[in-house]
């Protein structure tokens, strides 16, 4: 039996008050991201969960790495033919979430998703180590493979094929931009009275800020 009912933690590290937040959620995200980098120890700050609605109607969540964020939104890289790629092609509404446990913080982003410019994917692809480039070529991400040996043999073959050559980005591998429509910031507080502040995009491009009950 694994009874976890005594796992209990009091959250006391910080607070999130209307008097101390920017008008734009990207600015607040930026502040929290860098605070986690500075004070969060070895945490993989840019690891985030991407949730999609699959072709089978089920939601699916998996971790990917955030590679860039700007006023426009949040960029990550993956295989466009993967299970998530197919889900996105069918339904471009996704959710990103971050759990920065060292800071007792969570951020949840609902948004619409689109492929980034091919030239931007090319640039990022070329910045990666050769091993990662070849890995992206070898992996038909999310497809069933006969064995690990099958992947390793294909990788060795590619290493020979591309020796001393520029490794081109496969067309089915590239970046996605998530444009936020709603961003919720959660700060753990004592007695379960956590702070929750939600930014909702308005038609005039401003953000509506509301506090949610914990």
Ligand X SMILES: Cc1cc2nc3c(=O)[nH]c(=O)nc-3n(C[C@H](O)[C@H](O)[C@H](O)COP(=O)(O)O)c2cc1C
Catalytic residues: 192
Which positions from 22 to 51 touch ligand X by CB under 6 A, shown as an x/- string? ----------------------x--x----
Q: What residues between 127 and 156 interact with ligand X by CB under 6 A? A: 141-142
Q: Which of 83, 92, 102, 162 binds ligand X (CB under 6 A)?
A: 83
Q: Which of 17, 65, 89, 181 binds ligand X (CB under 6 A)?
A: 65
Q: Is 62 in the site for ligand X (CB under 6 A)?
A: yes
Binding residues for ligand X, rule CB under 6 A, total 16
DSSP per-residue codes, the chain: ----TT------S----GGG--SSHHHHHHHHHHHHHHHSTT--TTEEEEEEE-TTS-EEEEEEEEEEE-SS-EEEEEETTSHHHHHHHH--EEEEEEEEGGGTEEEEEEEEEEEPPHHHHHHHHHHS-HHHHHHHHH--TTS--S-HHHHHHHHHHHHHHTTTSPPPPPTTEEEEEEEEEEEEEEE--GGG--EEEEEEE-TTS-EEEEE---
In the complex, the smallest distance separating the C-beta of residue 64 from ligand X, rounded to whole angstroms, is 4
Q: What residues between 88 and 117 interact with ligand X by CB under 6 A? A: none
- By beta-carbon proximity to ligand X, the closer residue of 26 and 66 is 66
Q: Which stretch binds ligand X (CB under 6 A): 1-9, 73-81, 93-101, 190-198?
A: 73-81
Q: Which stretch binds ligand X (CB under 6 A): 21-29, 81-89, 94-102, 177-185?
A: 81-89
In the complex, the smallest distance separating the C-beta of residue 203 from ligand X, rounded to whole angstroms, is 33
């Amino acid at each position: 039996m694994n009874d976890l009912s005594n796992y209990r933690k009091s959250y006391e590290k910080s607070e999130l008050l209307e008097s101390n937040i920017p008008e734009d959620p990207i600015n607040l995200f930026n502040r929290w991201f860098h605070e986690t980098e500075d004070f969060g120890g070895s945490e993989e700050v840019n690891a985030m969960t991407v949730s999609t609605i699959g072709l089978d109607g089920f939601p699916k969540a998996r971790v990917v790495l955030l590679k860039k964020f700007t006023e426009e939104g949040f960029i990550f890289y993956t295989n466009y033919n993967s299970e998530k790629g197919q889900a996105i092609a069918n339904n471009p509404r996704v959710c990103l979430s971050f759990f920065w446990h060292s800071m007792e913080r969570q951020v949840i982003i609902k948004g619409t998703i689109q492929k980034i410019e091919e030239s931007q994917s090319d640039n990022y692809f070329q910045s990666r180590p050769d091993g990662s480039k070849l890995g992206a070529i070898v992996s038909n991400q999310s497809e069933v493979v006969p064995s690990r040996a099958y992947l390793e043999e294909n990788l060795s073959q590619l290493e020979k094929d591309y020796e001393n050559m520029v490794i081109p980005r496969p067309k089915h591998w590239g970046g996605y931009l998530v444009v936020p429509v709603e961003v919720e910031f959660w700060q753990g507080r004592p007695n379960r009275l956590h702070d929750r502040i939600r930014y909702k995009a308005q038609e005039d491009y401003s953000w509506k800020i509301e506090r949610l009950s914990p």
